[in-house]
Every structure is written in structure tokens, then in C-alpha cells.
Structure 1
């Protein structure tokens, strides 16, 4: 069920970041999911459109769920496995109350590159739609590989949904 504010009928989209490390890139990704309080979900990637009547907020509180629930999200991840490598991931968004908005997700080896990619993508996407969505917002996170693989994660969570099965 979407995280809708009951009095306002608004969708609450949380944006959060984390980094993780592990003995493998998958383990590092799982560690980052734990750090962002979004572990134990089946992640369902969305195409980056923000519906009207949404509130996009930076928050990291745990989401109400049961193990294995579906989590609809927009996500950027980056991994670094070699000593000295850096991994950067970020989300950018624009939003207009009347028309909704857009998310973009990017990753790269540097913070500057991710931030530039976010700006360029959102400018192109807004121009293509013939709209001014307002200012660009972004959140970027990085991790540096010292000894073990690392992961940088930026994720926007839209809704948690159960599988609708009877639970024993």
C-alpha cells in the first residue's frame, strides 16, 4: 500500500542514501540497503516519474513492512572493487505541484560527474516535455575502496506492498 498521508491524500516519497562494504559487491550492496533501512524488500524499479500530489523528502526511518514485501523505488548504485577506486551514486529530482515531477539516477567514479549528469539529464527531460518543473534537487553519496568492495546507494522509496498472501 502506498505511503499516503491520510489527511491530505498525498504520496510521501522518501529519498535516502547509504554506503556499504562486504567481501563481494553483492554483499556490499546488501550492507548499503541495511544502512538505508530498506533491506529485506523485493525491489521493483520505477521509471522515474513523480506523480502530482507527492511530497519528496529526505528521510531514513524504517519503512513499515514484512520480510519480502515489494518496494517500489528509483535507485542509483555504484560499486568499487579495486583498492583506490571510488564509487558515487546520486538521485536528482524536479517537481511541480500541478504536473508532478521527474527523478534521474546516475553513478560514476566522482561526485562532480554524478552531479553534472543529474543536472544535464533533468534539463533535457524538462525541455523535452516543454515544462519548467522548478529547481533541481539532488542527493549524492560516495564510497572509497580500501580493502573490500564498497557500494554507494541512493534510493527513492515510493510504496511498500505485500504479496497479498495469507501468512501462516
Structure 2
């Protein structure tokens, strides 16, 4: 594989031993409050027992992004840190919907590097448009080519109590050290 740096010189691709397999899952849930609905949605996505640490959406070189079921999300101990990108949508009024989505693009150089974008809103169309616009803007601001590689959506409709839909891209779970 031929990889060019920002100046156009040929370089060897750097595949990192510590690059994550990023797992993307979706979930939805209801509860008596927005917070408990969010927790139910995290359970549906397979990540409820983690402390979420939100990342800014850059995919490291050497990564692999995979859509997974909640049962195939990262495993850890109760309370571990989970470094992730996520979108969460809430609805509290009967017959209102919440939509969450994540899209990603990977560099064309085969390095595995890329970008995530995440949005939420009241309809799939709006979230889809926002994902497209953000991904186009982020890619336009960087050198090199990128190709969209995937999109995951979650949705939920409020019947009586608050609801939440989430999509989570999990990078790594990490315990707490005593130091």
C-alpha cells in the first residue's frame, strides 16, 4: 500500500499496536425521568455499567470500526471508564420521536484513521442531513481523501414516559488505578 504524507511524499503506513477496535452499538429505553431513560438506552446499547468519557470524534490510525450488537460491546468491570463517542436523543411528549446517529469516514490511504460525527434530533431525515453536512465539513477541512464507511441510527417514540435513543462508538474500557 502506498501512503502519502501531507506534503505528498511517500511514507510507510503506521499501523499502531495500541489502536482500538471501535465497537458501534445502538439502544433505546424509557424511564420515569430523562436520566433513567438514558440509562435504559445505555443498557440497550450494552454500555450502562461504565462511566462514559466522551471523545471528540477522531479515529486513530490502525483502528477498525465495527457495528455490533449490545452483547458484543466492550466488557469491563462495574464503574470502569469507557472512552467513547455517542449521540443521545430524548423525547418526553406523547408521539414525539427521538433519533440519534453516528456516521464515520476513513482516510483513503488505508491507514484506518478517520472521523466520527454524531447528531440527534426529532426525525431520521434531520439526523441524516446533519450527519452528512458535518462529515462533509470535517473532511473538507483536512488534507487527503476520505470515504464514508458507515452510519448507525437509533430511534424511539414516546408513549407516556420519557424515552431516549443512543448510538455509542466505544474505543476502550479502562479500570481505575490506585495511584
TM-score (norm 2): 0.84
Partners of 1:35 and 1:125 lie apart in 2 by: 30
Find the counterpart in structure 2 of residue 5 from structure 1: none
Find the counterpart in structure 2 of residue 137 from structure 1: 150
Give the conservation status (yes or no) of the 8 Å contact 1:119–1:136.
no
Find the counterpart in structure 2 of residue 47 from structure 1: 56
Find the counterpart in structure 2 of residue 71 from structure 1: 82
Give the conservation status (yes or no) of the 8 Å contact 1:22–1:149.
yes
Higher Rg of the two aligned structures: 2
Gaps of at least 5 residues in structure 2 are 1-15
Q: Does 1:87 align with 2:98?
A: yes
Deviates more, 1:36-45 or 1:54-63: 54-63
DSSP-derived class of the 1:112 partner: helix
Deviation at 1:136, TM superposition (A): 4.4
**What is the Cα-based RMSD across aligned positions, in Å?**
1.5
Give the conservation status (yes or no) of the 8 Å contact 1:82–1:145.
yes
Gaps of at least 5 residues in structure 1 are 1-7
Give the conservation status (yes or no) of the 8 Å contact 2:23–2:74.
no
Q: For residues 49 and 62 of structure 1, do their structure 2 counterparts lie closer, same or farther at Cα, with a shift above 3 Å needed?
A: closer
DSSP-derived class of the 2:146 partner: coil
Deviates more, 1:123-132 or 1:79-88: 123-132
Partners of 2:106 and 2:20 lie apart in 1 by: 13
Find the counterpart in structure 2 of residue 56 from structure 1: 65
Q: Does 1:125 align with 2:134?
A: no
Find the counterpart in structure 2 of residue 25 from structure 1: 34
> Post-superposition, which runs of at least 4 consecutive aligned residues in structure 1 deviate over 4 A?
none
Partners of 2:152 and 2:31 lie apart in 1 by: 23
